[in-house]
Amino acid sequence: MILWLISLHIIFMVAWFAALFYLPRLYVYHALASDAISIERFKLMERKLYYGIMLPSGLITTIFGLWIITQNHHYYLKAGWLHTKILLVAILWVYHFYCGYLRKQFKNDNNRHSHVFYRWLNEFPVLILIPVVILAVVKPF
């Protein structure tokens, strides 16, 4: 059973990260768009990505992660690597909701950032992904 839970956790984590990488990339192009048709198309794509993929994938990833912990909570509650991973996932949720805030800014035609800002923002999930994978696989402490 645990291997199924871990597999599903990884599958939904990949989907979540794909959306976390793609949404800010859409913001890059949205910030550069100047015609009404493109702007409305980006708004639709951003909404569908956020609510159709990003939010459900993040929630399901978190649920499966918590479910995995319950399978051997005596071990996991003492595992320092897991505490660090949970902290990084919490930071990732802050990033996730910040992306949602930015989506609302675009939705209301109130974007205040350039495409360069979104290009840099797009790199943030990598800073979380690398240590999360290392922590989960290597379990360094």
User: Hey, which bits of the chain come out as E strands?
Assistant: none
Report yes or no: 64 and 5 within 8 Å, Cβ to Cβ.
yes
- Place 60 in a pLDDT band, splitting at 50, 70 and 90: very high
Per-residue pLDDT at 103 exceeds 90? yes
The pLDDT of residue 34 is: 96
Over residues 87-92, the mean pLDDT reads: 98
pLDDT value at position 125?
97
Structure tokens at 55: 């939010």
Interval 80-96 mean pLDDT: 97
> Band of the pLDDT at 128, cuts 50, 70, 90?
very high
The encoded tokens of residue 70 equal 């319950």
What residue spans define the domains of the chain?
2-138
Burial of 86 (0-12, 13-18, 19+ CB in 10 A): middle
Tell whether the model's pLDDT for residue 36 goes beyond 90: yes
pLDDT at 10 over 90: yes
User: pLDDT averaged over the chain?
Assistant: 97
Cβ partners under 8 Å of residue 31, min gap 6 = 111, 113, 114, 115, 117, 118
Indicate the DSSP class of residue 34: -
Q: What's the mean pLDDT in 75-79? A: 92
- What pLDDT is attached to residue 135? 96
Q: What is the arithmetic mean of pLDDT over 42-67?
A: 98
Q: What does the DSSP 8-state code read for residue 1?
A: -
Phi-psi category of residue 114: left, alpha or beta, with phi > 0 → left and psi -120 to 50 → alpha: beta
Is residue 107 within 8 Å of residue 2, measured between CB atoms? no
Model pLDDT, residue 141: 82
- Separation of alpha carbons 59 and 93, rounded Å: 10
Q: For 104-114, write each residue's pLDDT tens digit.
A: 999 999 999 99
What are the structure tokens assigned to 16, written together? 């979540």
Q: Which pLDDT score, from 0 to 100, does residue 139 have?
A: 94
